[in-house]
Structure 1
Amino acid sequence: MRVTLLGTGDTTGTPTVGCDCDTCTAARERGVERTRFSVHVENERTGESLLIDFSPDFRYQFLRDGVPLPDAAVITHIHFDHLDGLGNVFRVLDSLEVYAADETDPETGKSVAETIRDDYHYLDTVTVVPTTPLETVRICGLDVTLVPVEHPPLVCYGLAIEDPETGAKLSITGDTSYSIPEESRTVLADADLLLADGIVPASLCEYHPLGGRHEDGEGTPRTFGTKHMTREGALAMAEQLNADRTRLVHLAHFYPAEEAFEEPLAIDGEEYVL
């Protein structure tokens, strides 16, 4: 299983358009970037590729990193930075199965699968496959399980991807606070590689209108506001999940420049063979 981190940034990415903060300036000087979130998973046994989330930067990411076009995709939730790149498949792919959760979101009255089907009804090449969370499905020769996480006000999902022949396992927390349900943590546990949402360091919670939540024993917030884990929360989650290796993703340009490119914060283009 070959995993390529196509997009490791948050909604605005790093560098952020029109921003000359120290972190965005350092990113430009280093020639690194964090585009909007997307992960490419290649099953080298079958020659198939699975895409996790359709970044608005889809075209650029695939041209930049030269990975194969996807044979199937999974959408974790309907925020634009994870979904709105789907339109890029127009005239690029002949067909594509898109897997998404079938649970109705009380906020929208639709499931993620229904929203995708309605919003992208004009894409004849796309077939939406409603998928039940916590039930494993075989996609591109890999066992994929969607798991509910906490990213209010909309439903959102993480996922585990496992090679049934080699046992290699990739887990992705999805966009989430530290309050991941126990049944979801069980599915995500013991991954060879964990991609964990760690949007900012905990020290920045004082600048969020809602502050921080889910403090540890020393009072360090593990959730920034209500929607995302802090760096410290993501690392605590990785320890709780017993991940062999962890990379932090969905990173904002609000990280101080002196911390923004330190381990284990990911940048675009990283590749892992599991």
Structure 2
Amino acid sequence: MEVTLLGTGDTTGTPTPGCSCDTCERARERGVERTRYSVHVRNERTDEALLVDASPDFRHQFLERDVDLPDAAVISHIHFDHLDGLGNAYRLFGDLPVYAADETDPETGESVAGTVRSDYDYLDAVTVSAESPFEPFETCGFEVTLVPVDHPPLVCYGLAIEDPETGAKLSLSGDTSYGIPDESREALADPDLLLADGIVPAHLCEHHPYGGKHEDEDGVPRTFGTKHMTIEGARSLGAELDADETRIVHLSHFIPADEAFDEDLAVDGERYEL
């Protein structure tokens, strides 16, 4: 299993257009980016590739990285920075199976799969497969499981992606607070690599109107507001899940420049062999 981090940023990415903050300037100096979130998972055995979330930066990401176009995709939730790249399926694919959860979202009245189907019904290439959480399905030679996480007000899902031949396992937290249900934590546990959502350091919770929550034993918030983990929360999740390696993703440009490129904070283009 070859994992390439195509996009490791939040909704505006780093550098953010029009922004001259120290973190964006530092990224420019380093020649690194954190574009909108997306992950490429290649199965070397079957020569197939699975795309996790379709970033609006799809075209740029696939031109920048030496990876093949995907044979299938999984969508974790319907926020634009994870979904809108599906429009790139136009003229690029003869057929692109897209997997998403079948649970009805009380906020929207339809499932993630239903939203994808209705939003992209004009694209003949996109065929949507509705999948039930905790029920593994097969694609690209992998066994994939959608697991509910906590990203109010919309439903959102993390993923466990396993190679049944090699035993390699990739877990992705999805966009989530630290309040991931126990059953989902069990499904995500013991990965070779965990990609964990961590948008800012915990000390910035004082600037959020909802503050922080899910404090650790030292009172450090592991959730920023309600929707995302803090960087400390992402690290805690990696330890709790006993991940061999944790890379923190979905990072914002609000991270102070002297912290923004700490060793475990991912940037675009990182590649891992599991």
Which TM-score band applies after superposition, normalised by the shorter structure?
A: over 0.9
Determine the C-alpha separation between the residues in 2 that align with 1:172 and 1:246.
10
Determine the C-alpha separation between the residues in 2 that align with 1:152 and 1:115.
17
Alignment of 1:1-274 (within 5 A): 1-274=1-274
Alignment partner of 1:60: what SS? helix
Alignment partner of 1:255: what SS? coil
Counterpart amino acid of residue 48 in structure 1: E
Counterpart amino acid of residue 89 in structure 1: A
Counterpart amino acid of residue 262 in structure 1: D
Alignment partner of 2:232: what SS? helix
Determine the C-alpha separation between the residues in 2 that align with 1:105 and 1:209.
25
Cα offset, 1:250, TM superposition: 0.1
Cα offset, 1:218, TM superposition: 1.1
Cα offset, 1:66, TM superposition: 2.2
Alignment partner of 1:99: what SS? strand
Alignment partner of 1:232: what SS? helix
Cα offset, 1:263, TM superposition: 1.3
Q: Please give the TM-score of this superposition, normalised by the length of structure 1.
A: 1.00
Q: Deviations over 1:46-87 (max 9, x none)?
A: 000000000000000000002100000000000000000100
Identity of aligned residues (%): 73
Counterpart amino acid of residue 220 in structure 1: V
Alignment partner of 1:32: what SS? coil
Determine the C-alpha separation between the residues in 1 that align with 2:214 and 2:156.
19
Cα offset, 1:16, TM superposition: 0.3
Determine the C-alpha separation between the residues in 2 that align with 1:122 and 1:256.
42
Gaps of 5+ in 2: none
Determine the C-alpha separation between the residues in 2 that align with 1:204 and 1:193.
27
Determine the C-alpha separation between the residues in 2 that align with 1:262 and 1:205.
19
Gaps of 5+ in 1: none
User: What is the root-mean-square deviation of aligned Cα atoms in Å?
Assistant: 0.4
Determine the C-alpha separation between the residues in 2 that align with 1:212 and 1:259.
19
Q: Please give the TM-score of this superposition, normalised by the length of structure 2.
A: 1.00
